[in-house]
Amino acid sequence: MAAPQHLPPGTLIAGKYELEGLLGEGGMGAVYQATNLSIGRRVAIKILHAAVADREDVRRRFEMEARAAAVISHPGIVDVLDMGQTDEGEPFIVMEHLEGMTLRSLNKEFKGLTPEQSVGVMLPVLDALGAAHRAGVIHRDVKPANIFVCAKPQVVKLLDFGVSRFGASSGLTNTGTAVGTPRYMAPEQVLGEADLGPEADLYSVGAVLYSLLSGRLPHGSGSDMALLARTLHDTPAPLASITTGLPPALCELVDSLLLKDRARRPKDAAAVKEALQQCVPATDLAVLYNAAIRTARASALAPTPSRSNASLPGVPSKKATPSAPRPPPNAAPTRTAVVAPPGSKPGLFIAVTVLALALGGGGAVWYLKSQPRPVVVAPPVAPAPITVTLKAEPAGARIKAGGTALTCNPCELTGALGTKQQVKVTAEGMAEATLDVTFDEDRTQKVVLVAAPVAATPEPAMDAGRPASPAKKKKKTPRGLSVDEKNPYQ
């Protein structure tokens, strides 16, 4: 199939939306930045490729996001403003334009979030999920890449309802078909059960919190099939066993969200939100938003075309260098066929079926199929060392690994696969933490110190003089935050 032709800047859609540039592209369609000429509002437009525009299943999945926005009607859901067809008959939907970054990119930018920041982001997500569940909508793909932290306005948005389930059935997949992202899917999703409830989305919330708080996924890394198998048969390690210093109530709440038995899992997003608020005081995200705005304004002054104030993050200017050419049609096949959604990022969606399913739209679906690959014989290579990035909080904490004091935080520790190293973390006024770091996979591990218990102070003698005044705590300066250049609609 020939590569789809992109619409040039200046193209008028439905007589009022003037395209300004390509935001991103998927296997089913493309997303453009545009302006509604009638009111001067900047918007994002998803347009299906002509090659798939006539397929009923693609159209239905494409329309799912618009229907979800209308049914739920919540400020934490991306607002869909309009729908229609181009003059060539290609369906399109018009959405609000977002500025900011996904939680996935935010976590990467900050090299991990604090428990307070993690909870601060997830509270509005639970608000949006609660509204969706009350409207009878199950999202089915809650993950960091679908959580968008907006720099302006200061809100958090839940993205991509393209694979959501409305009421008893979405009408898009058959019973026994698993739809979602393997890293964050609930066991009942893996089995393709038809009667998914709110607890499936809350399992995904637990998986997101687990990864933010510990720096690792509940079921580790590996192939999609391996992750799905572990989701069904293994229980994640208790959060408290891999991350020290977290409030016990927070660890217990996250562990309860990841229970395999859906009947024992929390089922109400509002109740989970309330429990989170009692565990950890959430950080005011205005600090992050304001940092993002300052960075965006500073970048707009730099002589970089893609960062100019005439083009938003991720939007190529009219003079931008064209993208790299596509690989030729006869390029060597890959092991996994990836079909990206209209305007969405090729995600880790997977449809587990014996027969190949029809291609989908709004959420990407991975079809796992074996293809012959050439056999390459290479000389034996010694296994690469494993790197574990140890991040201690507070920022001034001191790290000692194997008896050697380190001058970094975070610190990268390396070791052979399967080995361990003892680490001690100390900080003034905090209880010392001692742990064994296992070199099992490249990852980031957090160590959060807690305040040391204060011993009772005896009454000073009359001639003992005035007691020393307590040391003042240094104020933590928020780190800078750059605006994500990736398209939030991908």
Residues recognised as catalytic: 141
Beta strands in 126-183 (DSSP E): 137-138, 147-150, 156-158, 165-166
C-alpha angle with apex 181: 176 to 185, nearest 5 degrees? 65
Helix or strand or coil: residue 145? Answer: helix
* β-strand partners of 368: 336
Phi, psi of 112 (to 5 degrees): 105, 140
Q: How far apart are CA 295 and CA 333, in angstroms?
A: 41
Q: Retrieve residue 482's tokens.
A: 């750059």
Helix (H, G, I), strand (E, B) or coil at 290: helix
Nearest to 350 by CA among 229, 441, 265: 229
Measured CA to CA in angstroms, residue 53 lies from 59, 90, 211, 305 at distances of 7, 6, 38, 33
Helix axes 198-214, 115-134, angle to 10 degrees: 170
Q: Please name which of 128, 145, 130, 256 lies closest in space to residue 208, comparing C-alpha atoms.
A: 145
Coil, helix or strand at residue 156: strand
Record the tokens describing residue 298, joined without a space.
């500073």
Instruction: Measure the CA–CA gap between 285 and 128, rounded to whole angstroms.
Output: 17
| DSSP secondary structure of 27-74 | SSEEEEEEEETTTTEEEEEEEE-TTTTT-HHHHHHHHHHHHHHHHH--
- Give the CA distances from residue 229 to residues 173, 196, 263, in Å, rounded to whole numbers and listed in that order: 21, 19, 20
- H/E stretch holding 319 reads none
Residue type, position 444, single letter? T
Report which DSSP code applies to 306: G
DSSP state of 474: P
E-strand ranges in 218-364 read: 336-339
Q: Is 413 helix (H, G, I), strand (E, B) or coil?
A: strand
Find where tokens 């008893």 sit. 168
Structure tokens at 403: 């008896």
Residue with tokens 């083009």: 311
